[in-house]
Structure 1
């Protein structure tokens, strides 16, 4: 009797390829800048360019007709001054964000930026008050000589002449200059913006204080400020996403 050794059958298992389309390696796309970045930069650019540009329009209207006293030139010029002053206040706030953006600034830098922004906004408010008074006087006086009688009781109010027609307005351009300077030193805007605005500011002051034959210097100064803030707008780094 013979015993047969039966070996277990060997089963060759073949692994079927996975069903479905082959896996394709995909590269994760890095997230781009937030969508509001472009909007912030556009607001900054519009405010920086519009503020001195409208100011130049107002100054031109005063030279063309406003200096004669009440009339269309006086009214149009001071409405433009109102718009320009308000836009300068907005520009100062946005410029302060730009100047303090990027790498975390030192406490001293933040203090200077905050003080300059406050001064600029306060100066813009003084200009708004001045323009509002000028519009009121222009609407209630028939001639240039009659304007003095309308101005007199208003300027007699303590602080009005000193603040609205003296110290206050000068703070606007001083504050904006400091903001542009800090932004340039921190490489948030091109350096040319700072010296262009500084030279423009000096020319503007010279045109207002020198004899009337030098009045064109004021227009040249405002034009340089338009150029300066245009350069700043074109090269401004985003406050939160510096290049």
Structure 2
């Protein structure tokens, strides 16, 4: 909903949207743990899990900063200088905004791809996870489409039991 007026933040839609993203990240931490178990552990699944967690932490920091900047700013124009000040702090931009957040998507793709290689989920689940990861890079307006694709991609996971891990594929060990 935020952005329908031509600008993003601050305001109710900005804050609520970011709070929902934070709640989703908490759920994804649990999901990543289950995916790792379903994938049978191992190097690839553990690396995907670790990458996903690192990315989730970076995104949580980003969303928290976004919420605080929104609360401190009277309008969208006032947000820019505040974000610039935060990003001017050494290492903040790559750790919170550009590099480390991408690990969330890398981890998710790696975990679902591992399940697809082990034939626990169809190949298209991994393909949809990859597509939904790329969509926000094209435009933030595509986030709802990405969410729908992710929901569709995760449907086959509903039938999997964590206690039945996939056999390790020698190529991915």
Instruction: Tell me which interval the TM-score lies in, with the shorter structure as reference length.
Output: 0.7 to 0.9
Unaligned runs of 5+ in 1: 1-60, 102-109, 209-214
- What is aligned with 1:78? 18
More helix by share: 2
TM-score (norm 1): 0.62
Greater RCO (Cα-Cα under 8 Å, separation 6 or more)? 2
Q: How many residues align structurally?
A: 166
The within-5 A match list for 1:81-120 is 81-100=21-40, 110-120=42-52
SS at match of 2:162: coil
TM-score (norm 2): 0.85
The within-5 A match list for 1:1-243 is 61-64=1-4, 67-100=7-40, 110-208=42-140, 215-216=141-142, 218-233=143-158, 235-236=159-160, 238-241=161-164
Unaligned runs of 5+ in 2: 167-173
For the pair shown, the structure with the greater C-alpha radius of gyration is 1
Q: CA deviation at 1:67?
A: 3.8
Q: Distance in 2 between matches of 1:240 and 1:219?
A: 32
Q: Distance in 1 between matches of 2:93 and 2:30?
A: 25
Q: Distance in 2 between matches of 1:150 and 1:168?
A: 21
Q: Distance in 2 between matches of 1:66 and 1:161?
A: 25
